[in-house]
A and B are shown apart, each in its own frame.
Chain A
Amino acid sequence: MKQFFTIRHILCLFLLAAVIFAGVATYYKIEYWGFSFKPHERTDVWTVDAHISFEPTGEPIEVSLSTPRIGDEYKILSEDAVAAGYEVEKDDKNHRMIMKSKALKEKQDVYYRIMLYDNEDTIGKVRDHKKPKVQEITYVDEQEKVMVKELWKLADKVEGSSSAEKIIKLLNQEVPEPEVDSFLPVHKNQKIMAEKIIYLLAAKKIPARIVRGVKLGEKRRAVPADLMLEVYEGSKWMIYNINTGTVGLPKDFVVFQRGGVSLLDVAGGTHSQVRFSVIKSVVSSFKMAGRRAKYENSHLFDYTIYNLPMHEQNTLKWLMIFPLGILLVVLMRNVIGISTMGTFTPMLVAMSLVKTGFFPGLICFGLIILLGLLIRTWLTKLNLLLVPRISAVVIFVILIMQILTIIGYQFDFKIAASAVFFPIIITAWIIERACITWEEEGAKNATKQIITTSIVAVVTYMVISSDYIRHIMFAFNEWNFVILIIVMLLGTYTGYRLTELKRFAPLMKDK
């Protein structure tokens, strides 16, 4: 008795270790590889094309475009330039894509393309300890000076946590104050708005600058750069939405350029302009996992099943539900106490049902068993030896499956077509066992056995057919360790089985 406790204790320790390991692994996968509990989880991948066009002046050409830099806001899947005949080079230090060419004549179109994923909202602050100089503003006249003062007075009444937010909100009010109306030009665009805000902030000696980038969204073709505003607060630049005054970098905004540098420089060209197009595509999150792992510099990923070719992955995905099925079998037999025809038969049948679909599979399987039993009864009369007889049943099962599959195909009859998914040997074996039980213990016992086996198969099916469960067992396969230890622990379970409570009921004694 003493020894038995230690085995169980050791297994309990293992279980604890396995649960901790699985928990940590799961956390890691979700956090760093972007795995999810949900099946069919998709990741948005944004493709941003910057189309640069200009007219050459006849001198050697050098195009330089400021590009997004790697930050917390998103991850970069790929980045390249499409410029035939150009020498392309990435200046990683200054985050610029540089394309050079000898002197050319015709109008030029070159492209820069970047693919991004896992975009996130961030505060979007940039540290800068050197306080930038604010341009001294020169008022056109005294009237303007008064107007700026008035505007700031109005801005102070606006709700907001910073001067920048207040002033932006003031300028964007739906029903503008008369002062605002007269301050802003009639035709205003983002650029004018940004400049006006910077001007007003400068009056308060607050440094501010324009940030250029692209707002991500569907159906955005050939649009000019979108603007945001950076305002120097404390010892950092805070980013603001020009239209709402909201602070922070939203996940749908990709910054191309900020600070003193230009967005686009073209040497040897005039009339240069850059237009952005955005395409959104969805990719299975799983496929992105490897990329994410690379971001974390995690070589672990190379040794996981997710790095295997798709075909192998699918096979393994299939295998990964076996442990759960096995756990169910152990529970049904040793804890509930149901005895079935063959230990793993119900599980294998359940797995076939997953492939065929529930009702078609069940009907088809019933049909195979029924036909098989009829043939087997006929075989009984022939008095064959055991091995040839069971072999004959196997061949008959194969023939039945063929016929059903052909019928299913010809008449587009799904139920029959699923025949091909059932395990042949297991099916033959069920038929053989059912037939022997029938002969020896009567039709009642045989039917009872078939029914209990089917019920167990259906219960197993219910569990393993769930997309969620199959996804989780595959994506978080470390839980198979936990299942393994639980199965081993059940191997030390010496309590009563559920069915024994009924069986031994006449012996029950109240204490």
Chain B
Amino acid sequence: MLSLFEFFSRSKKLRAAGVLGMNARNYNVISKNNRRNLYPLVDDKVKTKTLANSIDINTPKMIGVIEHQYEVGDFMKIVANHAEFVVKPAHGSQGKGVLVIKNYADNVFTTASGKKLGFKEVYQHISNILSGLYSLGGQYDVALIEELVHFSDAFQNFSYQGIPDVRVIVYKGYPAMAMMRLATKESEGRANLHQGAVGVGLDMRTGRAINAVSHNMPIGIHPDTNADLMTLQVPFWREHLLIGAQAYEMTGLGYLGADIVLDKNRGPMMLELNARPGLAIQIANGKGLRNSLKKIDKRYPRGLSAQERVDYVLNNG
């Protein structure tokens, strides 16, 4: 049993490292910077996408939305001109219910993992989305159909199947911390750290790897591809940060996480936003978030445009 003394002494060490705990995140950061009524803007992927498009933030193009069970039959009409697309719940999280169709031919849908599905299965999947199987609290949901992202080859060696994405924490409009999430065999192609994905902390000025972890422990190479993680460098770094910074104006959320993927042809794209981004990013970066937030609070200028803020971070971050 951990003694009270040990609890305090370890707490002190964490505080010294500027680690942001869950309670402090909820109480001091989220509740003070994110107004509740803004949450739907990011919790609903259709809303997020519409907003993003209105201010020219790059996102995967929306093909259509299915809102009611009786519209499920129209599905084939909606995807008529697409051989590849993605179906996902508008209120999903952690990749639940995301169906990535790589190819549609001869009445057979092939998923990213190579599984072959028929009409019935895809309809069933959409039906499940609508009935709320994948959404928080099980409330009714809508199915969003969007274009497939063609992932850049830049990270080919760094990810086992799956799709790497960049998570940027944005505080008061300033990108504060960033990491790249790389899928592993264990995470089954998913980019969630608690499922075994690799997290790579990124330098805010350059987009270069500074630290990498798997299951909370520091690592140097990717467990499946053996790529040297420290050589990782995110291209279009400025554009990545810009998407994060713009998300602030777009949503009004003072503390948010932006998930950004890199498309081969269209560059960095915003995949989703999160009003309660997790704290694992601190472990990936090997440093606490609190100091960065404090710095932004105290020293960073107010009233700059998104472009200016990104430049400020690139020069001073």
Interface residues of A (CB under 8 A from B): 1, 4, 334, 337, 383, 385-387, 390, 436, 440-441, 491-498, 500-501, 503-511
Contact = CB atoms under 8 A, between A and B. Distances in A.
Contacts of A500: 14, 19, 21-22
A510 B124 CA distance: 55
B282 interface: yes
B108 interface: no
A91 to B, nearest CB: 67
Contacts, number: 91
Contact of A509 (B13, B27, B217): B13
19 contacts: A4-B27, A385-B131, A386-B138, A390-B138, A493-B27, A494-B21, A496-B19, A496-B21, A497-B23, A501-B2, A501-B10, A501-B11, A503-B283, A504-B17, A504-B19, A505-B10, A506-B218, A508-B13, A511-B16
Interface string B1-42: 010000100111111110101111001100000000000000
B128 A385 contact: yes
Interface in B191-215: 195, 213
B301 to A, nearest CB: 21
A330 to B, nearest CB: 11
Contacts of A337: 22
A494 B22 CA distance: 8
Contacts of B175: none
Which residue of A390, A505, A508, A510 has the most chain B CB atoms within 10 A of its CB atom?
A508
A383 B123 CA distance: 11
A337 B279 CA distance: 14
A494 B28 contact: yes
Nearest to A386: B131
A510 B16 contact: yes
A315 to B, nearest CB: 30
A386 B133 CA distance: 6
Size category, B interface: 35 or more
A510 B13 contact: yes
Interface in B125-179: 127-128, 131-133, 138
B286 interface: yes
B216 A498 contact: no
Contact of A495 (B21, B132, B133, B218): B21
A503 B216 contact: yes
Nearest to B217: A506
B60 interface: no
Contact of B23 (A386, A493, A503, A511): A493
A386 B2 CA distance: 43
B96 interface: yes
B27 to A, nearest CB: 5
A35 B73 CA distance: 70
Given A386-B131, A495-B23, A507-B286, A4 B217 contact: no
A500 B289 CA distance: 14
B102 interface: no
Interface string B285-299: 011100000000000
A494 B96 contact: no
Contacts of B22: 337, 497, 500
A383 B124 contact: yes
A375 to B, nearest CB: 18
Nearest to B133: A386
Contact of A504 (B14, B27, B124, B218): B14
Contact of A507 (B128, B131, B283): B283
Contacts of A507: 14, 17, 19, 282-283, 286-288
